[in-house]
Every structure is written in structure tokens, then in C-alpha cells.
Structure 1
């Protein structure tokens, strides 16, 4: 009854995929979550009191409308504590501010959403101005990536395997969110 209106299942319990490939197999096991958390680039795993942790969270589709819930959830998580429990308590933190497109959207001092969320439409057209141009692309993976090709895992990553996986993920995000 509440699952249709509650945001929890839409964000964290995405449904099993029903889209089939031309061979009748499922292309993905389940719909992707409508968010991605990008870790900080410093690879730091230990934080001392007063250290600052900054990360990026990308919201897709209607998940953008849930930004106040994400802010509240992170704020509550900070008050309850995260990580290894010492004397029954995790490490506490507080959410200082949330920014989008270089604009502060939420500030702990004010305690409310300050501005409308500046949404960005992604456009492929901007990169397609010169069809005959050659370019070299270097892709650096900053988090682990595991892709199957022809039903097996390979240490090397052919370009077409990566691109096909990216297209499947993008089309799945578009279809579900």
C-alpha cells in the first residue's frame, strides 16, 4: 500500500529488470539505483576529528526530487555514527553543506534548502560537432570495475565491452528513473 508513495523502495529496492535482449535473456539483473556516490579522490580511509570528508552524490531522474530526504538521511547518519563501533558508538559527523553546480543548496547553519536544485540536462550533441575528428581517450578507473564479456570475466577491458556496458546502464537509468 505505501510502496507506491514511499521513496525508500524507489531509491534502495529497485525492481528486478524485465527488459529482455533479442535472444530473450535479461540484459541486467535489476534496475540500477537512481544515485551514484563518488568517493573522494584522496583515497583516504582514516579520518581524525576535524578532518573534512567531501564526496559527490549523483541523483538521476525523480531521485532529484528526493534531495531533502537524502540531506536528512545523511544528517541523521552523522548523529548516530558510522564505521566501527567503539564503546557502542560509531564516528560522529555533521553535514555542513550541500552544493550543486557550484551553488550552495543546503547549509547546516540555516537548516533548510536555500535554493532550487539547479538540474543539468546531459547532452551528447555537444561532443559531436566534428564527425571526422580523431581523438585519443584515456579512461582511468578510480573504483573497481567488474564486467563480463561472453559470460566470463577478463583482466583486459576491450573498448567495445566498456562502451556497451555504459550504454546499457544509461538506457536502464533512463527507462527506470
Structure 2
């Protein structure tokens, strides 16, 4: 029998790029409790102002709907003909915003804060739109003319954990198009550093640190006790959807076997807590609570590491464009049994 770690999956064909934006507060910035929601809303409003040429028409009724940058990035509609997610009005967005990791809500004028940005598949070519939208959001203010900032510079990470290409804002915007698209992070780059298929011995224990609220739903309800099959199934579904819709690739040959084998992975330790939060959307409050903390899984995890590493990049669960579902892996034990 071929073990679960023997097949090399198409994670190599998963182009993405991660950037870090340095924002300098022009006036004192006071974030609400849900920082990701505030940044997401400000970015969307700025992006629409930049690209919309038919101001008095709802997006879905506009003749440019299928070719405009705003709906593709911010309200991503499914293709006209697709058997995947056929009932969905919107599909997973091809980017992730990562709010500042510092646990603070106030940034005095002159202080710098860092926002992460992950672009996936075709969205990589839209980098200039993201940069211009952030610059406009800074000039206008994140909310109602307040919380203003300037985009000082942005850094493209050329490899996981490796050096970054630093680019100043301003005149460098014009050079953005040819940069990340020529050398994006890919699953292959992750494989070079963390490839499970090349592990000489199986991986039997792994710690997962949930850094931002992680909201995984089952049957329409949030999961409050997380096990590995639920975690992996949610992650795999997200990876496959992103791969299909934003890169045009479908590779699900081994997915059922991986899901079945995930039932053998158990929870070794669970130190998760539930964090309640919400966001205001179209005049009403929407719950965005999720799990935070850490837990450890045990079992033969070798085949799953390449997927879990990609999840560190693209996050897992609901609300990823707000920065939810961010996690890091810690390899606790790597041995043979």
C-alpha cells in the first residue's frame, strides 16, 4: 500500500505573493476592536473610487461587471458557467489582508504600522490597484475622513522566510506590474523549504497556533471544538477553490483518500478559546467570532504538511480577507514509528 506521504500534489502550481506595507500615521489612528474589518472596508471603498466609471449603476447590472477590477477583487462573482459552487453568489476572494499583529488600537502621528497582503493567482497582476487603493485610503482616512496615513514603502517576500525586495512608494508604483508577477511565491517554493514528500521519516506531531480568530463552520454553524478532519477539510476546500477559480487548475485526484486518512489524526492538546467579535455590514451587525490559541495534532501528518504550509499563507475558514484564520505551524516531533 502506498503511504499518504508518497504522492507529490499540485501545490507547486499555486502562485501567490506576500507583501508587507509600511503605513505611517499622518494623524492619530484609532482602530475599532475589529481592525481587519476597518481596513477591509476602507480598502474596498478606495478601490471602487479608483476604478468605477459607471457611478450610478449597481455593479451586478453594469456592462463592465465581468471585466472590472473592483468586482473581481472585492465582490468576486463565480464564472457564468461552472459546476463548482453552483449556488454561490460570490466565490473566495483572491487576496488576504493581514492587520498589524501588535495588540494595540492607537497609533500616534508619525508612528509606522505594518499591514500584510497576500495576492493569489490572477490577482498578482492587480498589485498596482492594491497599492493605489491603499494610498488613496490613507489620504482620505480609513473611516469618515479620520485615521489618515501615508504608504511609505512595500516589501515583496521572494521566498518563505527569505529576503524581501524593498520598494519605496510614490514613483515605484509605476514599476509594480512587472515585479511580483515575475517571481511569485508558489507551492513549489514552499516545498523547497517545507516539502513533506522529502521528509526522510514520518511527521507524527504538529502544533498549530491560531493567531487571529479562526471561524470554521459545519452545517452553517461555527465549530467551537476543532479536530483535524474538520480543520483539514476546510483548508483543502479553500485551497482547491482558490486554485480552480483564480488559477484555472483542478487537482483533486487524491483528496478523498486524504480526507479519509485525516480521521486517524487526533488532538493531543487543546488550548483554544473562543473570541467574540462582529462587523458592521450594510447597516447590520454580522458575527465574526472565532477560535484563538493553540492545539497539537498527532498521527501520521507527513502527507498533510504541504497543504498546512500553504494554509499559513492563505489562511483558513471564514473572513480571510479581513485577516481571520491566520495560523502558524510548529513542528514538535519528527520521528519514525
TM range (shorter): 0.7 to 0.9
Higher relative contact order (CA 8 A, sep 6+): 2
Please point out which of 210, 213, 238 is paired with 1:169: 238
SS at match of 2:206: coil
Residue in structure 1 matching 2:206, options 114, 137, 140: 137
Contact 1:32 1:173 in 2 (8 A): yes
Return the offset for 1:154. Answer: 3.4
Confirm or deny: 8 A CA contact 1:80 1:90 kept in the other structure.
yes
Cα gap change, 1:48 to 1:154, in 2 (>3 Å) = same
2:108 matched to 1:43? no
* Partner SS state of residue 84, structure 2: coil
Partner of 2:32: none
Alignment of 1:141-152 (within 5 A): 141-149=210-218, 152=221
Equivalent residue, structure 1, for 2:223: 154
In structure 1, the partner of 2:25 is none
Deviation at 1:146, TM superposition (A): 1.7
What are the equivalent positions in structure 2 for 1:1-177 lying under 5 Å apart? 1-16=63-78, 19=84, 30-83=90-143, 85=144, 89-101=145-157, 102-104=164-166, 106-108=167-169, 110-114=171-175, 116-117=179-180, 118-123=183-188, 125=191, 126-130=195-199, 132-149=201-218, 152-177=221-246
Using structure 2 for the length normalisation, give the TM-score.
Answer: 0.45
Go from structure 1 to structure 2 and tell me whether the alpha carbon gap of 1:33 and 1:50 turns closer, same or farther (over 3 Å shift): same
Aligned-pair Cα RMSD in Å: 2.4
Give SS of 1:55's match.
strand
Greater strand fraction, Structure 1 or Structure 2:
2
Instruction: Give a deviation string over 1:30-51, Cα, whole Å, max 9, x none.
Output: 4111000112221221111111
The alignment's TM-score, normalised by the length of structure 1, stands at 0.82
Residues of 1 paired with 2:68 and 2:205: CA distance? 45
